[in-house]
Amino acid sequence: MLDKQKLGLEIKKLRKAKKLTQHQLAEGMCSQSEISRIEAGEFFPSLDLLYLIANQLQIPINYFFEILAHEQAEEIKAIKNKVWALSSSKNHKELFHYTEELLLQEIAQHPETKKFLLWHNYTAAYYLGRLDANNCRTELLLLIRKKMLGTDNLLDLHIKNTIANLYAENNHFKESGELYQSILNEKLDTTEANNLKIKVIYNFGKLLYLKKDYTSSLHYTDQGIRLSVEGANMSLLGQFYYQKGALLEKLDFSAAEISASYQKAQFFFEMLDLEVYTNILLENKSHYLLGSTTN
């Protein structure tokens, strides 16, 4: 049986993907308020109205039945959370095998879930040496170019960020920088979009550091710290402060300012149980954490 709230969310997602307002979607078939109530999950549209909505969104009406029949929201949410956790911890081997298994299951029939899983599968394969950089970029670009019904622009931006990372890691700094800038130029105002923006700012700052453009890198690093604090997002604050400490060293700031950045990095690494990062900090910058803070 179809869930009216799931149906409403799916219609809303598709409408936004088509960049249509509720008024534009409703034009010629019903009122804007009806579309609003349908998207809010207040009631089911009639079959005739659902057909007109599907036609306006340029999809077959069976799409709603096929998608919603396989929609298992809690299971998909749990899967995505696990994938994100494996990706964040750089557990590429488990991530590769986990996504490989899921892609063979019924859960991968949902187009957005399939695209999400393929993205992480290709990326893990690259880091495991199963795909070279060029082939990985090609597969990811094909994912972006293949417009799957039910997917939104934000997922494509996440994939684009990964492609930019691959360029940077293989010393294609120009291509990487252009991709980061294109993502930052997107006008998206949601919590998830802002979290992605913070991640891209961190990556772009790291790229500028590699290019020895330390002043610009510091500008983006400070911007990332500010946005993280404003959005109550601590996930990258440790990395931002570590990067800031390294930049302050390059720019000949005082030992006290450098030490303060590394101490903040240590605080967030330990708070978030990021043991790998904590160890790197202690191995490479312990003199700033324990020593004198005078020039």
The mean per-residue pLDDT over the stretch 254-260 comes to 96
- Give yes or no for residue 88 having a pLDDT over 90: no
The two structure tokens encoding residue 294: 């005078």
- Please give the class, per CATH, of domain 4-69: mainly alpha
Cα 157 to chain centroid, rounded = 7
> Distance between CA 86 and CA 174 in Å, rounded?
29
Digit-coded pLDDT (tens) for 50-73? 999 999 999 988 888 776 665 567
Phi and psi, residue 51, nearest 5°:
-65, -45
Q: What pLDDT score was predicted for residue 76?
A: 85
> Please, what's the b/e burial string for 91-129 (b: 16 or more CB within 10 A of its CB; e: otherwise)?
ebeebbebbeebeeeebbebbbbbbbbbbbbbbbbbbee
Q: What pLDDT score was predicted for residue 294?
A: 40
Q: What pLDDT score was predicted for residue 71?
A: 56
- Give yes or no for residue 43 having a pLDDT over 90: no
> Distance between CA 102 and CA 9 in Å, rounded?
24
The mean per-residue pLDDT over the stretch 205-210 comes to 96
Is residue 14 within 8 Å of 41, Cβ to Cβ?
Answer: no
The mean per-residue pLDDT over the stretch 144-167 comes to 86
Helix or strand (DSSP H, E) at 88 = helix 73-88
| Residue type at 161 in one-letter notation | N
Is residue 244 within 8 Å of 268, Cβ to Cβ?
Answer: no
Q: What pLDDT score was predicted for residue 99?
A: 98
Is residue 11 within 8 Å of 55, Cβ to Cβ?
Answer: no
> Distance between CA 156 and CA 191 in Å, rounded?
16
Residue with tokens 């490479």: 284
Q: What pLDDT score was predicted for residue 204?
A: 97
- Give yes or no for residue 292 having a pLDDT over 70: no
- How sure is the predictor about 225, in pLDDT bands with cuts at 50, 70 and 90? very high
The mean per-residue pLDDT over the stretch 149-167 comes to 88
Q: What pLDDT score was predicted for residue 218?
A: 98
**Lowest mean pLDDT across 1-10, 160-169, 193-202:** 1-10
pTM of the model: 0.71
Please state the domain extents for the chain: 4-69, 234-295
The two structure tokens encoding residue 106: 């019924």
> Distance between CA 5 and CA 136 in Å, rounded?
37
